[in-house]
Structure 1
Amino acid sequence: MKIGNYSCDISLILDEVKKHVYKTVLLQAPEGIKKHVFQVVDEIETKTKAKVMVSSDPCYGACDVPLHAAKTLGVDLVVQLGHLPVPNLKLPLPVLFVNLLADAREEESVKQAIKKLEGTKIGLVTTAQHIHKLSKVKEVLKNNGFTPVVGKGDNRVARSGQVLGCNMSTVQSISDKVDCFLFLGTGRFHPLGVALTTDKPVVSANPFTLEVLKNEIKEEKEKLLKK
């Protein structure tokens, strides 16, 4: 199912609801997805017997599950859209994490970023929404004479190459093995986190806008460190 600029495997939700005969579901989504979320609600309610409620609270990540609301409402299942689970996070009620995969121009954005990369060994990091394109992005780098390096995070990180706003262990695992980091994704929050974790240059490539940032990330890092 298409949800804005992302693809959602709705069958994961339908199968889970049917398997456990859940009657009530609380659906949680990031701010940018909320305006599209009712098509997911309609799909669930049409194809199962469950009643779906939508959380209006902000969602800042996989660890930000609306447990209080779920308990107050007495729902059977929480479905969080847009994130991979935190492997070591123990939750007191059933929670299904359904990642949203970006329909973007990851390979093209990396081609745009190549001229700003330094050295040949490139640490490649991204968020859950672009993780499915890592193998193709690695090929782009290889075809242009670079050696992509993908790190593995600690037990809070679900996939190799993935960074979380609260966890940069993937960066730390390869920082001494690379010349430069390439972040694939949107916004400045995550690439700034990468920059604050390492002394290596950081380049950010936006797969939607094809904007490439380098000096901007460095300048923001320096401003924060001066405070």
Structure 2
Amino acid sequence: MWDLERDRVIREILRHKGKRILFQAPEGLKLEVEREIEEIRRYFKDRGREDIELIIWGGSAFGACDVCDREGSYLNVDLIIHYGHEELPYVRSEIPVVYIPVYYKPDREHLMEIFRDIDRILEEYGDPVITTTVQFKRILERYNPYLVLGCRANITLEGDRDILYIGSGRFHPLMLAYKFRREVLTYNPITREFSKIRRDEVEGFIKRRLGVISKLHLNPPRKIGVVLSTKKGQCRIHVFERVIKILRERGIKYIPIVLDNIAPENLIYNVDAYVVCGCPRVVLDDYINYKKILLTPKEFEMYITGNFDYQLDEILPEDF
């Protein structure tokens, strides 16, 4: 069902003359990659290459933003095999990285059913903008979809065109709904289920985020924590510096906080709110797990300027 490209991985290990290889995968793929490592190890053993050491990274792999090259350098790793994502132009690794997108690979009958389903949706909804993630890019080539990330959608919408997201889960289509403030059609090619992220859900999200900003206006924060993640694709140093500059100019007390993984147990400081200059989804999806108010940099600027026209925060190349 999922293409882990074993032959390509073996070729890349040989091409890089790697002796110590670190395999990195997101949570949903870790066990499958563990089995893949066993097969690759057997391949090399059968050819008398027991000198090649294969290691699995047990930590996070939230995206191509979260490459474990720094940790790999401590182990003198020669190569990283990163599953589930494509390379980001602003993430520069200290160690060579081979990105394995893990394309979805249905059988022919299922693929024909997927095409029929999509064609019916297109017939019913006219000319929607089609979006997907890298895993489904290959099977959807005939539809020329836009690729979206969980933190960014580089899409220009004209008029009132619908958005159709083809993929699994709600993580990516929620970002589209929040950004464009509209209903998003979703089709899961694995289960063949069609659904929608409705407008009232989007409006509820915006209302909640504006409520957080309004709360700060009623009770202005005396001290703010400015949070920066050291994950390479989340280390938005220019955003971090801009937020600190604004706080200085406004005479608001602050403490810069730098860490790898942004989590509730790590944000324990005596502040009234945090501005998270890492992945915006930490704020948008996980805010309920934190004791203090979380703001994205865009929301922080809305608070400072008094602008209540909600702006979704996205990670951009110029942030680095």
Give the TM-score normalised by the residue count of structure 1: 0.77
Query: Which residue of 2 is the match for residue 182 of structure 1?
Result: 164
Contact 1:185/1:206, CA 8 A, preserved across alignment: yes
How far the C-alpha of 1:58 sits from its partner, in A, is: 2.3
Please report how far the alpha carbon of residue 135 of structure 1 lies from its aligned counterpart in structure 2 after TM superposition: 2.7
Pick the aligned partner of 2:177 from 195, 204, 207: 195
1:219 aligned onto 2:215: no
* 8 A contact 1:59–1:65 mirrored in 2: yes
Pick from 124, 147, 150: which aligns with 1:162? Answer: 147
1:122-141 alignment, distance < 5 Å: 122-136=128-142, 138=143
**Runs (4+) of structure 1 moved beyond 6 Å?**
none
Q: CA deviation at 1:220?
A: 2.9
Listed as ranges, the gaps of 5+ residues in structure 2 are 209-320
Whole-Å Cα distance in 1 between the matches of residues 56 and 170 of structure 2? 28
1:110 to 114, 118, 122: 118
In structure 2, give the amino acid aligned to 1:40: E
Cα distance, 1:187 vs structure 2: 0.7
Contact kept? 1:30, 1:81, Cα under 8 Å = yes
- What SS is found at the alignment partner of 1:89? coil
CA distance in 2 between counterparts of 1:17 and 1:177 reads 48
Task: Identify the residue that residue 43 of structure 1 maps to in structure 2.
Answer: 39
| 2-structure distance, mates of 1:53, 1:177 | 50
Aligned with 2:58 (options 56, 59, 64): 56
Aligned residue pairs: how many? 196
Q: Secondary structure at the match of 2:103?
A: strand
CA distance in 2, matches of 1:45, 1:210: 36
Give the CA RMSD over aligned residues: 2.2
Instruction: Say if 1:56 and 1:217 are closer, same or farther in 2 by CA, change over 3 A.
Output: farther
In 2, Cα distance between the equivalents of 1:218 and 1:109? 23
Report the Cα distance in structure 2 between the residues aligned to 1:53 and 1:114, rounded to whole angstroms: 45
Structure 1 counterpart of 2:148, one-letter code: V
How far is the alpha carbon of 1:213 from its aligned partner?
1.7
Counterpart in the other structure of 1:92: 94
What are structure 1's unaligned runs of at least 5 residues? 139-148, 151-160
Cα distance in 2, alignment partners of residues 91 and 110 from structure 1: 38
RCO greater where, 1 or 2, for CA within 8 Å and sep 6 or more?
1
Shift in CA distance, 223/112, structure 1 to aligned 2, threshold 3 Å: farther
Identify the residue that residue 17 of structure 1 maps to in structure 2. 13
* Secondary structure of 2:89 counterpart: coil
Identity of aligned residues (%): 27
Query: Contact (CA 8 Å) 1:108, 1:210: kept in 2 or not?
Result: no
